[in-house]
Chains A and B, each alone.
Chain A
Amino acid sequence: MSETTGTGELTVTINGKQVVAEPGELIIDVAERSGVYIPRFCYHPRMKPVGMCRMCLVEVSSPRGPSLQPACFVPVADGQEVNTDVDGARKAQEGVLEFLLLNHPLDCPVCDKGGECPLQDQAMSHGPGESRFIEEKRHWAKPIVLGPLTLLDRERCIQCARCTRFAEEIAGEPLIDFFSRGDAIEVATFPDRPFSSYFSGNTVQICPVGALTSAPYRFKSRPWDLEQVETTCTFCGVGCRIVAQSSAGKAVRFLGVDSDPVNHSWLCDRGRYGFEAIHATDRLREPMLRRDGELSPASWNEALREVGAGLRQGLSSQGPTSIGIIGGARLPNEDQYAWSKLARAVIGTDNVDAQLGDGLPAEFVASLPQATIDDACAAKAVILLAGDLHEELPVLHLRLRAAAAHHGLLLVDCSPVPTALSEVAVALAPARPGEAAALMAALVASDDEVPEVPGVSAAAVSAARTVLSGLTGEEIVVVVGRTSVAERPDSLAAAAAALAKGLPGVRFLPALRRANVRGAIDMGLAPGMLPGRVSLDGAREWFESQWGSLPSGRGLDTRAMLEAASAGTLRALVLLGADPLADFPDRELATRALERIPFLVALDTLPSASAQLADVVLPAAGFGERGGTTTNLEGRVTRLAQKVVPPGVARPDWVIAVEIAERLGVDLGFDHLEGIWEEIEQVAPAHRGATVSAVYGQPGDGVVVPVAAVGLPRLAPARLDPMATPGIDSVITQGAPMFAGAAAVGSGGVEESEVIEEGGAAPAELPTESVTPSGPPRPSPLAFDADSWPVPAPPVPDAYSFRLVTRRSLYDHGTLVQASPSLAPLAPSQELRVRPRELDKLGVADGDRVRVRSARGELVLPVAADEAVPAGVALIGLNLAPVDQPGATALLDSDEAAQPVRIETVEG
């Protein structure tokens, strides 16, 4: 929204000034672009206009003379004349404002919104100045609890319907609606159906008054005491842009920033309220050393000396391959790079893996023909072969849901159990666990040779084929993720390969759940991979010229490292924010490995179950406590910013890498973050062109890697009006840089003049060519080879067994959720879901306790009848057992293509 004229096809006159516009644009938007701010309440640029509040009335010419029209609802027309501050329009605006304030309690001094309130601001800029109302105001009991995280003050509500429309139109969860009518109208929930949407916090953010408040932020701060930075949420791989706000040195609120290619200003509640985990009481504050079997505090010097000694001992006794590093997905790119370099060039090991056997093969992700989130939403069809995005990647779920529900995207859901997106899908063909490749082959087979697909009805296959028929590969995007950790990842890779073969030109969006897994793969935190999406062997010459020596051969992945540890061949293991005991899909193996490993180092922010077993625990600075960049699932690199100081003496992971290298006698060559990025741009083949100035230059939509494939980033992204995202200072509205600790929220409210001045900074020049470093030519990033992903043998059918599917929940017993007091109680309890008919056959009733048994272990838990679960499948929630009790992973054998289980009755 930075220029007055575009490539429009019509001209309107707004307050005497001619403006060029596109057909279909709304008067309110065109006016704003031309520097005329029209007051508003119900209008939100990311939702359909409803013209309800009547705040935006302006005088619009028509053949029958000028009339008052809602600028948010009426589109521009050629030759139209719009006047926003003639007497008639001003009187209407002042009238509406006076009406709005009649029953408004005006308890601003105790209202969360006071100081950043669009009603306050617009009462000043467009109101009559004083009220003529002397009657008794309407009174309500307050607040009302709408849901676990959301409270409503009905007296403050101005009935703009932003919250109810968000719930219905955007989230697809119409759990709140208006009740009653006239001035007795109120927002309410339905009986026994609380507003428990994962997206409830968005309604609090867009509520233009203090009617909706969130339990985690309520009464925590006043807007004028807030400081803020723009950063990226790292609770999952979507990478929503947020503003992190702090008060008195504590993070107190995250708000969604409108990033056009990513989150459209929305956040999920886990990301939004995850700020609580920053200040968890059990944060690791100082290094700890195991002395006499007990972990006790130590100085950094002692701890690092111990790490150096432990690693050197491993190196000298059994060489670099006896040392392994697991984790790193939650680290920023720079830290991942530093650790990748430390492992390869200093320690000399390729035993590095950021994933815990719960993701997708790194070579597969790095080489996939990639699609962005926008590409997926703009495609004709999307094939969904992933877990439930609503649970794993909530805002990606929102984006795809909107595309399917409102913009004609044809969604084919092939996830093994229907997902929250199934409701808007045009075809459902649930792939049987372990056999997704067969289904995909059938989807793209030619008409006369459609094979039978085990576990999927011919009708479902044919319905899905009908959707895809006539579409070219270029028109289709596949969202591919780990459907279930009870299924081997190469099964998914084989399925994707089948699609790539059958649909030339098809692109993939990897549904990578962990925050910066994409960055970890891109930075080479995977065996056989090096930074920049190249393989160890393919890029050996180049990297040796840049880094010096490299490990001689491909190292071990997480599973192999754990096996080596339990076999006694791994001498030292570093956990980079990883918790294999909780997360590795084979709890038994992880336990054996961590108990056996002679030297275990854990870098973490919280005392995870695995860290409790370590010999040295190093406290790491976490989210919001340090800068850097992160890469989202589509390969978009955006900035992270620091807002608060780390607890105790915790340090960023890259600093710890530098220190460890020093203890091993090597200077990694890094003394500041930008320096690391500079090296990444110079060294990593896929990152060429993503210069420091492009990536670090200013906040915004970031840079998609590889730059060449997707093109130049928009450096001055469009920002929405302050009414769209109240609570975010106009500094951000104008797209100006805003870095760690820089700007504080000043007066809180947005002055009209601030809004209508220029819409954004001019785009900075992006250097297309960076300085080419010396040495051999840079290798190119890996290309996808559909033939390198063979179909794993499916498990032998067994008439008595079910195939297990694991499903994640947004709220689970993972450390970060459990460290957030508001979210922790929301984790559901563990249960097994099975088709009702199968329960009948087993002779158990809904709610009974059953024993689930696999070759690996067993669990006793309640069973629930669920018609959506396909026959022969048992669905179990992942990570839902308290840390000290066995959960779904106790049943898993990570070697199985699919995990068979039996369900048995238990007596009593």
Chain B
Amino acid sequence: MLTDRAPIVSARLGHEDSHTLERYLATGGYEGLRKALSMTPEQVHEEVNAASLLGRGGAGFPAGRKWSMLRKASTTYLVVNGDESEPATFKDHLLIERDPHQIVEGTIITAYAIGAAQAFIFCRGEFALGLERLTQAVNDAYAHGALGPSILGSDFSLDLVVHPGAGAYICGEETALLESLEGKRGFPRIKPPYFPAAIGLYGEPTVVNNVETMSNIPWIVRNGGAAFAALGQGSSTGTRLFALSGHVERPGWYETEMSKTTFRDLIYDPKLGGGVRRGRALKAFIPGGVSAPWFFPEHLDMGLDQDAVGKAGSMLGSGSVVVMDETTCAVRAAWRISRFFHRESCGQCTPCREGAGWIDKILRRIEDGLGREEDLDLLLDACDNIAPGLTWPPRQTTICVLGPSIPSSIVSGIHQFRDEFLLHVKEGGCPMPPDEVRHV
């Protein structure tokens, strides 16, 4: 069922000048901060706990709980993850370009709640306009007295630095991000320590939260955690910004209520995706970014609910839904995704560094008509050596979870479309039509 709740994070985006301080102030901007400063940090934290806000960066960990895990120390950092680089994921990009002040305000409130005096926003370097606007917003916030010493006359002070990423997807992984922020190579850190909340930036306890997670904070403080928790159901509270792409009539971003909206709503509702392009049949869809195992028509009536999707063997992940119609070649789709991981592996650990390239080459060979029947088992076994047992959630022989993200599309593809893979082998080439490029 599609609900028509008022949007939270995208409320301002209808305005041309949604990124400016003027518009932000005119639409309730920095009121959340003012209110937060009138509360104790613990009270702010309590509201976020009550909202049961799940992290929007991919892992879906409750934000309030993450903040509680901070090791007590004299220095605590807050780092906001705006490195969004996954194919088909573009919701943080939108928020950064179109409502940067909302992120800044959420960041200031969070810093207040966790007692950080220094915060960073790590923004993907390719977001040229986004970086410009985010930086402008930070400068404006300083001028407005919302950043710097004695914020809005209180005795809370905070400095906020916008740091551009240098062009690696892996720097979105929170520990690689921290390494990069420290000026080192973006290699994910080995666990333990398990959480940056114990040992994070420069060895100090650090909260890393996603841009969209931060964008929800002002609303939660203004309206109370209970109001947020009243949206959605179960552990999936509030609304979520979904990036819908692929073979739909109306690709784009949609903020919908969690859990109550279904995949069918998102893809087919005329106000949302508007259906599969040209009335074609749905072949498969990716429910949460290219790391997520694929879903098929039988999953359409599932709600956009973290637990339900997880139980069904995939994830909402980064909030990007990619639709594949009946003309899509499963081999080509899996290959494209594998090629992405091959190019973006940090190269630190063997199974991911070497495995990703191998899998890319095998899939490419099958698509090119040079596949062998045994390649299917070979692919699955190579995947198994990265993610033993090919279970969900995955186990891993690697340092970070980029490794076990590689098998998702391949295992989905081979399990569901084994015949199509074999047809490539038998016919010595791809039986599906070539890509249709859509010009907008």
Binding site for B on A (CB under 8 A): 50-55, 57, 67-68, 70, 73, 88, 91-92, 95-96, 98-100, 102-103, 132-133, 135-136, 138, 158-159, 177-178, 180-185
- Tell me, in angstroms, the Cα distance from A51 to B388 when the chains sit together: 18
- Chain B residues near A132: list those with CB within 8 A: 378
Residue of A nearest to B374 (CB): A132
Does any Cβ of A come within 8 Å of B98's Cβ?
no
Binding site for A on B (CB under 8 A): 168, 170, 185, 190, 342-351, 353-358, 361-362, 365, 378, 382, 384-386, 388, 395-399
- Chain A residues near B356: list those with CB within 8 A: 182-183
- Chain A residues near B362: list those with CB within 8 A: 135
User: Are A181's CB and B398's CB within 8 A?
Assistant: no
- Tell me, in angstroms, the Cα distance from A57 to B349 when the chains sit together: 12
The minimal Cβ–Cβ distance linking B376 to chain A, given in whole angstroms, is 13
10 A-B residue pairs with Cβ-Cβ distance under 8 Å, sorted by A, are: A52-B399, A54-B350, A98-B385, A99-B385, A102-B357, A135-B358, A159-B348, A181-B347, A182-B356, A185-B353
Contacts A50-B190, A135-B358; A183 near B353 (Cβ below 8 A):
yes
Name the residue among B168, B395, B397 with the largest chain A CB count within 10 angstroms. Answer: B397
- Tell me, in angstroms, the Cα distance from A114 to B336 when the chains sit together: 38
Contacts A102-B358, A182-B345, A182-B356; A55 near B399 (Cβ below 8 A):
no
- Chain A residues near B396: list those with CB within 8 A: 68
- Chain B residues near A102: list those with CB within 8 A: 354, 357-358
User: Are A51's CB and B399's CB within 8 A?
Assistant: yes
Q: Which of A55, A133, A180, A184 contacts B350 (CB 8 A)?
A: A55
Contacts A95-B397, A132-B378; A68 near B388 (Cβ below 8 A):
yes
Main secondary structure of the interface of B (DSSP, over half): helix
User: Are A99's CB and B185's CB within 8 A?
Assistant: no
Q: Which of B185, B350, B382 contacts A100 (CB 8 A)?
A: B350
Contacts A54-B350, A177-B185; A182 near B342 (Cβ below 8 A):
yes
- Chain A residues near B347: list those with CB within 8 A: 159, 178, 180-185
Q: A51-B190, A91-B384 are in contact. List 16 more A-B contacts (CB 8 A).
A: A52-B190, A52-B348, A54-B349, A54-B397, A57-B397, A92-B388, A96-B350, A98-B385, A99-B350, A99-B385, A138-B357, A180-B347, A182-B343, A183-B345, A183-B356, A185-B353
- Tell me, in angstroms, the Cα distance from A92 to B361 when the chains sit together: 21
User: Are B185's CB and A159's CB within 8 A?
Assistant: no
Q: Which of B190, B357, B382, B398 contacts A182 (CB 8 A)?
A: B357
Name the residue among A54, A96, A98 with the largest chain B CB count within 10 angstroms. Answer: A54
The minimal Cβ–Cβ distance linking B109 to chain A, given in whole angstroms, is 35
- Tell me, in angstroms, the Cα distance from A184 to B351 when the chains sit together: 14
User: Are B355's CB and A181's CB within 8 A?
Assistant: no
User: Are A95's CB and B185's CB within 8 A?
Assistant: no
The minimal Cβ–Cβ distance linking B34 to chain A, given in whole angstroms, is 44
The minimal Cβ–Cβ distance linking B208 to chain A, given in whole angstroms, is 21
User: Are B361's CB and A181's CB within 8 A?
Assistant: no
User: Are A99's CB and B168's CB within 8 A?
Assistant: no
- Chain B residues near A52: list those with CB within 8 A: 190, 348-350, 399
Name the residue among A53, A73, A91, A182 with the largest chain B CB count within 10 angstroms. Answer: A182
Q: Which of A133, A178, A181 contacts B345 (CB 8 A)?
A: A181
User: Are A96's CB and B351's CB within 8 A?
Assistant: yes
User: Are B385's CB and A95's CB within 8 A?
Assistant: yes
- Chain B residues near A133: list those with CB within 8 A: 358
- Chain A residues near B190: list those with CB within 8 A: 50-52, 70, 73
- Chain A residues near B358: list those with CB within 8 A: 99, 102, 133, 135
The minimal Cβ–Cβ distance linking B181 to chain A, given in whole angstroms, is 17
The minimal Cβ–Cβ distance linking A696 to chain B, given in whole angstroms, is 46
- Tell me, in angstroms, the Cα distance from A158 to B354 when the chains sit together: 10
User: Are A54's CB and B170's CB within 8 A?
Assistant: no
- Tell me, in angstroms, the Cα distance from A70 to B399 when the chains sit together: 10
Residue of B nearest to A49 (CB): B190
The minimal Cβ–Cβ distance linking B250 to chain A, given in whole angstroms, is 35
- Tell me, in angstroms, the Cα distance from A67 to B348 when the chains sit together: 21
- Chain B residues near A136: list those with CB within 8 A: 361
Residue of B nearest to A41 (CB): B350
- Chain A residues near B388: list those with CB within 8 A: 68, 88, 91-92
Contacts A99-B351, A135-B358; A54 near B346 (Cβ below 8 A):
no
Name the residue among B347, B353, B358, B361 with the largest chain A CB count within 10 angstroms. Answer: B353
- Tell me, in angstroms, the Cα distance from A54 to B362 when the chains sit together: 23
- Tell me, in angstroms, the Cα distance from A435 to B329 when the chains sit together: 83
